[in-house]
Amino acid sequence: MKRLRAAITPVLEAGLRHGGTTLDDLAYLLPDGRAGEYTQRLRAYGRTGQPCRRCGTPIERIVVTQRSTHFCPTCQPAE
């Protein structure tokens, strides 16, 4: 839990610093109507088939309880 918390905190801070994440559905926009720019920094989400930014393996997509989940099978292998 400590490791997870330590990993999540800087990601959330970076998301806030870059205005959040606006997906194709435009469900989230900044108060002035602009899209959040953190979307361009996502490492897996929405990048199905594109190379992992860390190792080059194509990003995969699965559906978990009706939600899309994107991951690198090399960097984030199932246990």
| Site residues for Zn ion per CB under 5 A | 52, 54-55, 57, 72, 74-75
CB of 19 vs Zn ion, minimal distance in Å: 26
- Closer of 35 and 42 to Zn ion (Cβ): 42
From CA 1, how far away is CA 78, in angstroms rounded? 19
- Closer of 11 and 16 to Zn ion (Cβ): 11
CB of 57 vs Zn ion, minimal distance in Å: 5
CB of 1 vs Zn ion, minimal distance in Å: 24
* HEC secondary structure over 14-39: HHHHCCCECCCCCCCCCCCCCCCEHH
- Closer of 26 and 78 to Zn ion (Cβ): 78
Contact 43, 53 (CB under 8 A): yes
From CA 31, how far away is CA 8, in angstroms rounded? 25
